[in-house]
Structure 1
Amino acid sequence: MAPRANTTLRQRRLGAELRRMREQVGFGGSELGRLVGMSPAQVTQMEAGKIGISVERLRTIAATCMCVNEPLIAALSGIITEREKPGWWEEYRGTLSDDFIDVAEFEGQARRLTTYSMAFIPGLLQTGAYASAVFAQAVPPLPRHEVDLRTAFRMQRQRLVRSGATPYSAFIHEAALRMQFSGPAVLADQLDALIEDSGQSTISIRVVPFDVGTMPSSSENFTYAEGVIPELDTAQVDTSLGARIFDAPAHMARFRSLLARFESRALSEEETREFIGSIKKEMESKRE
């Protein structure tokens, strides 16, 4: 079987979990290959998501690696047997970078999404005007058609949470609520949209205000995606060089710890609506 030219996020995650199985029992790639009838090159390609395997092969590998986590094995079997049509994001492959495609797939496969945003309103809650203003701030500047393409892609991503298909929680730092990317008018409209979104039963929005005191946190905006089982939870972090995906147990424990602290210190949903409303009034007074 020829290696795949393009791998999906879930194919790479399957490979990563197989690599973890192998490493936890202390096998090298060559040793695992010898035990299950694969060449070292095939093991490497499998763990990179470049080639597929059958459910039978998965179970052979799991048994060889002494993995007795049946829920994990069943979840990985589900990835192998999926025969869904390509996600909507595949239409953009070749016109947007793989980072954009990975983020959309990451969100599309989640059972629940939680974000923390410090620099700007979370992408899944941005208005079109606000999103366009954010993309227009890129350095070096993007051509207008690139700004429009990225904005359209972001708006399409939002259907996931606005439809109620995926429960969504957003922790937003006060700094993000006050950042003006295109003046007070655009921000006021964005804040109004946040208040409206917060009324949906499947969307929770909570603000982390400046005056909570010391707030241990990540310096980056990040999204935590719950998988079909906790072992398949994943996190995505925004960086100046693009999106990074994390799935190592140590990283996931850190993100869970951060979210627990936000949960305990952020304003309630009702307090958040009032808080956002007060900033919205400030912005409206500035545009008059």
Structure 2
Amino acid sequence: MADITPTLLRRRLGAALKTLRVRAGLNLAEGAKLLGVSSPTLSKVENGRQRTDPERFIAAYGVANAARIAEIREIARLANSSRHQRLYVQYKDVISDRFADFLEMEQIATRIDLYAALLIPGVLQTVDYASAAIGSISVLRTTRETRASTELRMKRQEVLTSPSLALRCVLDEACLRRELGGLSVLRRQLEHLLTISQRPNIELQVIPFKAGMHTGLDGAYTVFHFDVGSPVVAVEPLTTSHYLEEDDQVARYEVAFDRLRTQALDPEASRDFIARIAKETQ
């Protein structure tokens, strides 16, 4: 079987299966022999580079802990979820390996906490705003790549219709005032924010300039929460994303996000604030 991209969930599944082997007192060669595979094959599975059926491991390693079995089965179910895989296959030409992680997490998260410092987040963008943003930032993209990236961004937004997802977003005022594609594009984008913020699973808040210093001045980030496993933080510089999974690192961002929500206008006041800026663009 060909190697696959070791996305976050595949790595987590592989790590969980490796833990089962170690707890069973087996080295790599012994585990491979028990499973009837080669050591290199087992190594690929444990590193998230090859798909597998976890039931074989549960049976071979004699796992009896019901909670542990349930957790591994759920990780495997999410890792094999068809939606993010379909998007990856359809848009693989414009999805880097690092962004494949982001896409996967966005599709299977049960809560997303998002802070944006400069631009409206992709998952909340209109098609015209997205096209302008992608065209401005990705100066080396071809027209075809820009079109495909914009289309992918629109398809990603389908997650917002899921009742199982809660999105909490804090926007710096700079996001609301930066023109991309002209005033009419910005106005429609702000109007879209007003509409989408009415959804019961979306909480949108704004930090105005007059709030002064706040805990988001280091830049944008996203905290993904899941039914299974620990949260993951995606920190987003210009060209890629960095992922933080250590508990102490994630905890710092969770505390910072809670402070941002406290410093920001409440959702109703935020809508009024956005509406006033939208009127200024007329």
TM-score (normalised: structure 1): 0.80
- Matches of residues 1-288 of structure 1 in structure 2 within 5 Å? 2=1, 4-16=3-15, 32-33=27-28, 36=31, 41=40, 44-51=43-50, 52=52, 54-55=54-55, 57=57, 71=67, 74-80=70-76, 84-85=81-82, 87=84, 88-98=86-96, 99-217=98-216, 219-229=218-228, 231-284=229-282
Task: Report if aligned partners of 2:91, 2:148 keep a CA contact under 8 Å in 1.
Answer: no
State the SS of the aligned residue for 2:235: strand
Could you say if the C-alpha distance between residues 111 and 62 of structure 1 is closer, same or farther in structure 2, counting changes exceeding 3 Å?
Answer: farther
- Listed as ranges, the gaps of 5+ residues in structure 1 are none
CA distance in 1, matches of 2:62, 2:173: 46
Could you say if the C-alpha distance between residues 187 and 86 of structure 1 is closer, same or farther in structure 2, counting changes exceeding 3 Å?
Answer: closer
Task: Report if aligned partners of 1:237, 1:244 keep a CA contact under 8 Å in 2.
Answer: yes
- Listed as ranges, the gaps of 5+ residues in structure 2 are none
Task: Report if aligned partners of 2:234, 2:241 keep a CA contact under 8 Å in 1.
Answer: yes
CA distance in 1, matches of 2:201, 2:159: 11
State the SS of the aligned residue for 1:239: coil
State the SS of the aligned residue for 2:234: strand
Q: Which moved more, 1:92-101 or 1:103-112?
A: 92-101
Q: CA deviation at 1:226?
A: 1.1
Task: Report if aligned partners of 2:125, 2:189 keep a CA contact under 8 Å in 1.
Answer: yes
Task: Report if aligned partners of 1:58, 1:77 keep a CA contact under 8 Å in 2.
Answer: no
Task: Report if aligned partners of 1:75, 1:228 keep a CA contact under 8 Å in 2.
Answer: no
Letter in 2 for 1:54: P
CA distance in 1, matches of 2:200, 2:77: 33
Q: CA deviation at 1:112?
A: 1.5
Task: Report if aligned partners of 1:92, 1:101 keep a CA contact under 8 Å in 2.
Answer: no
CA distance in 1, matches of 2:138, 2:151: 20
State the SS of the aligned residue for 1:140: coil
State the SS of the aligned residue for 2:92: coil
Q: CA deviation at 1:233?
A: 1.7
CA distance in 2, matches of 1:110, 1:265: 25
**Cα deviation code 1:148-199 (max 9, x no counterpart):** 1111100000011045452211111111111112222211111111111111
State the SS of the aligned residue for 1:77: helix
Task: Report if aligned partners of 1:89, 1:101 keep a CA contact under 8 Å in 2.
Answer: no
Q: Which moved more, 1:74-83 or 1:144-153?
A: 74-83
Q: CA deviation at 1:5?
A: 3.4
**Cα deviation code 1:184-236 (max 9, x no counterpart):** 2211111111111111111110011222232122623222111114x332222
Q: Which moved more, 1:70-79 or 1:190-199?
A: 70-79
Q: Alignment length, in residue pairs?
A: 272
CA distance in 1, matches of 2:270, 2:127: 22
